[in-house]
Structure 1
């Protein structure tokens, strides 16, 4: 895979990842509004979409790992400086997001710095939780680089099956057998953030994409359908068992079997890119180059732009209304990022983590 092909694979994956991430965070006013409807014919397609959106963070980590693990190692000073920029960026934009919760959505009854810092320090459960995964990736980057560079194909296969068993099959089996109270701490390398970053790197550095056949890719998509069928049926079984359909919004099993679907999506995109005769360079600012910054800005704009969804949902439905809302939010966010990059101090808080093709 040459540089131009790599760039187009990255751009396509990131475009899909960012849309899924932002669409997933429309929450009860968007992707999860179907929970207010009775269970019917259109309930399940919307549940499928809700679970699919949770793959966005995994695809983002695959793109991040593919890019960063192939770069020249940073010094300790450079890596520490990057941590600082990411932390400051998360803290600053989370503060603006918190102000929206106080003033616009009224999620927080009153402004409190103590409440803001407590929410920031706790396990991420907000729009910016995917950015905590990015921060965790850079903290473990030296270790991940050692694993990525030294792993042989047999060890990669072992990691794949270990992740599938411990992160996917076991949690589901333990739920059905009533052993869900048993806590198993998975090794670092098979947690989603690290695992998908490593897989993104290996898929671009190995010749697997060139070796894969159409039949194998078809098998991958059939397995993807099976994975989503299991996750959806388990989610519905949990809701019916406890007679509480609000549990569906937690998507407790949405990350269990995402490995095969995400790898299949990546392989499909890469195969299509490699089969194209000619690849054009982008003429304008690319979403890939500013994707990290776009997510930061979109987190702030999503709530103020909710009126778009409110106006459209009665005409085009929840799904299309939410998609248009998200698309407009991302377009405006991308334009704002282009403007902010002209300000040197602000530009430093918006590092380019997914480099564009350098010419």
Structure 2
């Protein structure tokens, strides 16, 4: 428990500042392995819970207009935040890869994951989304042009440096592959309620990030599978009323964040009035009443569903029935996230619910 106890000095009221967050991130990065290796009793808060609670407190108090020279410390604060978030994301990705790489090698659409998704997996990802949202409008001044440039950009889906699109499609996507019908149930009421609370919070934050990114037409499949797989994994309820506070939270970010996608309101409206009701309507149908489509009739951007896979699209159907299937979180092959040459069979039928 040494690392967790030492962490407490970063979780004080005096540290609730940008400088405090920077120091916290640096400490978490340098001791990440130690945090992951420590076991905590199920009814106790994990180290990540403490970090998350701290970040939530800071969110309301950070003054984004504070001059850089007033932040204290040495070095470029913007670069420090960017680098820390990059390192944290890389380590989370590696943690996912340990489980997912053997899974992808099996090339079986009926295989289960080797382990369940735990509360720490959710809080790990929440730390990343919380920090990203806290510093979403962060800018640094170019020394030559003296122009303020946004630090966290949409970027490309396959870029190596941290970018919001890559974070969503790669990191969040991997989490959703791992989490499909795969959340642990602790059997402890208090802990299960906390788990549900964190899952809903993660859904709100990721939906905002998805809606606030400008997706190219060829990237639409990643955007749509992210949204649908998040709804499927979080499973907040079967009625639209269960999602009211989700939309309120998503919209609240439009009041806190300066750099907004011009289509953000349209994206929120489309989700609330079309995507979510359509998903819930499909979810309530009996399996025998659902409309199925053979793979041979699948067209571009048709989104299919399989219980063990979640939502995905088909890129290539080979003569032997094997398919290249695409969704956020699958292995990166050149410029696409695709699971190649997966045996599905000529007679395999998957549900098309969104086109």
Q: What TM-score does the superposition give when structure 2 sets the normalisation length?
A: 0.30
Tell which has more relative contact order, 1 or 2 (C-alpha 8 A, sep 6+). 1
More strand by share: 2
More helix by share: 1
Q: What TM-score does the superposition give when structure 1 sets the normalisation length?
A: 0.30
